[in-house]
Amino acid sequence: EPEVTQTPSHQVTQMGQEVILRCVPISNHLYFYWYRQILGQKVEFLVSFYNNEISEKSEIFDDQFSVERPDGSNFTLKIRSTKLEDSAMYFCASRGRTGEKLFFGSGTQLSVL
């Protein structure tokens, strides 16, 4: 089965630092997403991205967050100035057309110290 690839699998950073989480969606997919899961809590939608722009974002996705598809294959999530409460597992996901199955990557565990 095709895979969404995320790197790194673990990222440790100091509070206030910038981090970039990287994702390689499935190659012919058109829609891209970031979700996050704080330890012990539910998976939460952050942002969806289509046609090189954000199509929807949640209230979690504030000005500290940004997404980019810099080269047609990677899809990145940047957190400009990390806070302790940003510590979570971040999942990238992608899908083909409307109504098709969503594929999740294996996640990046972000720890902010």
Partner 1 sequence: RKEVEQDPGPFNVPEGATVAFNCTYSNSASQSFFWYRQDCRKEPKLLMSVYSSGNEDGRFTAQLNRASQYISLLIRDSKLSDSATYLCVVNNDFGNEKLTFGTGTRLTIIP
The residues that touch partner 1, with contacts defined as CB under 8 A, are 31, 33, 35, 41-45, 48, 55-56, 89, 91, 95, 98-99, 101-102, 104-107, 109
Looking at the DSSP bridge assignments, the partners of residue 103 are 94
Q: By C-beta, is 48 or 82 nearer to partner 1?
A: 48
Residue 95 and residue 93: Cα distance in Å, rounded?
A: 7
| CB of 81 vs partner 1, minimal distance in Å | 26
- Least distance from partner 1 to the Cβ atom of residue 16, Å: 26
Nearest distance in Å: CB 8, partner 1: 15
Nearer Cβ to partner 1 (14/51):
51
CB burial string 36-48: b at 16+ within 10 A, e below: beeeeeeeeebbb
The answer for residues whose C-beta is within 8 angstroms of residue 86's C-beta and 6 or more apart is: 79, 110, 112
